[in-house]
Amino acid sequence: MPKLIFFDIDGTLWDDNMQMPESTVPALKALQKNGHKIFLCSGRARGNIRDPRLLDIGFDGIVAACGNHIEYHGKVVYEKLVTPELTKKVVELLRICHMPVVLEGPEYHWIDEKGFEDDPYVLYLFKEMGQSAKILQGYTEDIRINKFSGDLLPDTDYERIKRELGDVFEFLVHEGNVVEFVPKGTSKATGIAWLCSYLHVDREDTYAVGDSVNDLDMLGYVGHGIAMGNGTAPAKEAAEYVTADIHRDGIRYAMEHYKLL
C-alpha cells in the first residue's frame, strides 16, 4: 500500500545553513521508486519555498504555511488566506505595538523595513526571494497572506497583541524571540488531514518527519511521527520514533527503520 510521507524543511531536510546530507536526496528518490508519495510540509509560506535544491527533487506536493496552502503535482488544490480586514488590523496593530512583522503569502512576502536589522533570517528572505520580498509600507489591498511572523523587541506590547489577536491566531514562540502567528484551527496536521481526504488515503498510512514546535500537531496526527535527533525535546516527546541527527543520515535511517526503503 503506497504511503504518504511528509517532510519538514528547516532542521529536517537541511540544517540552519541550508546544507543537506548527501544521503537525503537518494533516500527521497528511492521512496518514490518504491511507490510512495513524498511531500514538503513546512511552516514556510509557499512564496518562500523556491530553492531549486528542494523543488528539483520532485516532491509530489507541498503543504505550506502550516496547512493553509496545499499543492499536488504542481496544482494549488487548497488555499486559505487571512481576510483583508484582518490583515489590515494586523498591520496597524503590530506597528502600534512595536513588533516588526513578516507577512507571508503564497507569492510574496511583505517585510517591515525597521526592526529586523540584526535578524539573519530576514536578510536571507531578501536574498532568496528577490523582488518577491517587498518592503511593507502599510496595509494595501494587494497583500494576500496565509500567516505572519514577528520579532519580540524590548518595547513590544506583546500583551496587547495577545489580547487583540488571541481569538483568531495561534501564537507559536520560537527560539530567538520569534513569534509565528497561524490562523486558529489550522496547522500542518489539518493540511495533512485535508490531503488524506483528497487522495483517499487512510491516516495510518501517513508518516511525518519534523524537529520543532510547529511540527507537534503533525507528529501527533499522522500514523507514524518521526522526530529528528537534532530536534527539540517537545518534538521528540510527540514522536513515535526518534531518528539520528540530520547530518548522521537521519532521514535515511528513519525510512529504513519503517522499511519504506
Looking at every residue in the chain, the average pLDDT score rounds to 96
- pLDDT mean over 40-49: 96
- pLDDT mean over 158-174: 96
Contacts for 85 with CB less than 8 Å, ≥ 6 apart? none
Q: Please state, in angstroms and rounded to a whole number, the distance separating the CA atoms of residues 19 and 16.
A: 7
pLDDT digits 0-9 by tens, 209-252: 999 988 999 999 999 999 999 999 999 999 999 999 999 999 99
pLDDT of residue 231: 96
Q: Are 147 and 182 in contact (CB under 8 A)?
A: yes
Q: Are 2 and 37 in contact (CB under 8 A)?
A: yes
The percent of residues above 90 in pLDDT, for the chain, comes to 89
The percent of residues above 70 in pLDDT, for the chain, comes to 100
pLDDT of residue 119: 81
- pLDDT mean over 47-74: 97
Confidence band, pLDDT 50/70/90 cuts, at residue 114: confident
Whether the per-residue pLDDT at 41 is higher than 90: the answer is: yes
Find the angle CA(136)-CA(185)-CA(54) to the nearest 5 degrees. Answer: 60
- pLDDT mean over 199-213: 96
Q: Is 142 exposed, middle or buried (0-12, 13-18, 19+ CB in 10 A)?
A: exposed
Contacts for 145 with CB less than 8 Å, ≥ 6 apart? 45, 81, 82, 87, 103, 104, 105, 110
Whether the per-residue pLDDT at 176 is higher than 90: the answer is: no
Q: Which of 19-28, 145-154, 169-178 has the lowest mean pLDDT?
A: 169-178
Confidence band, pLDDT 50/70/90 cuts, at residue 76: very high
Residue 215, CA distances (Å) to 28, 152, 195, 250 in order:
20, 22, 17, 16
Per the listing, cell 493540511 goes with: 191
Whether the per-residue pLDDT at 199 is higher than 90: the answer is: yes
pLDDT of residue 169: 98
Q: Please state, in angstroms and rounded to a whole number, the distance separating the CA atoms of residues 76 and 247.
A: 32
Q: Using alpha carbons, select from 194, 169, 158 the residue that is nearest to residue 82.
A: 169
Q: For the stretch 64-94, what's the b/e string if a residue is b when 16 or more beta carbons lie within 10 angstroms of its beta carbon?
A: bbbbbbbbbeeeeebebbbeeeebbbbbebb
CA torsion sign, 89 to 166 to 190 to 49?
A: positive
Whether the per-residue pLDDT at 118 is higher than 80: the answer is: no
Q: Tell me the three cell numbers of residue 201.
A: 488515503
120 vs 189 pLDDT, higher one: 189
pLDDT of residue 122: 87
CA torsion, ordered 118, 122, 126, 128, to nearest 10 deg: 120
Whether the per-residue pLDDT at 1 is higher than 90: the answer is: no
pLDDT of residue 222: 98
Residue 242, CA distances (Å) to 225, 234, 239 in order:
9, 12, 7
CA atoms within 13 A on the CB side of 219: 26
Q: Are 150 and 181 in contact (CB under 8 A)?
A: yes
Q: DSSP string spanning 206-228?
A: EEEEE-SGGGHHHHHHSSEEEE-
pLDDT of residue 121: 82
Whether the per-residue pLDDT at 30 is higher than 90: the answer is: yes
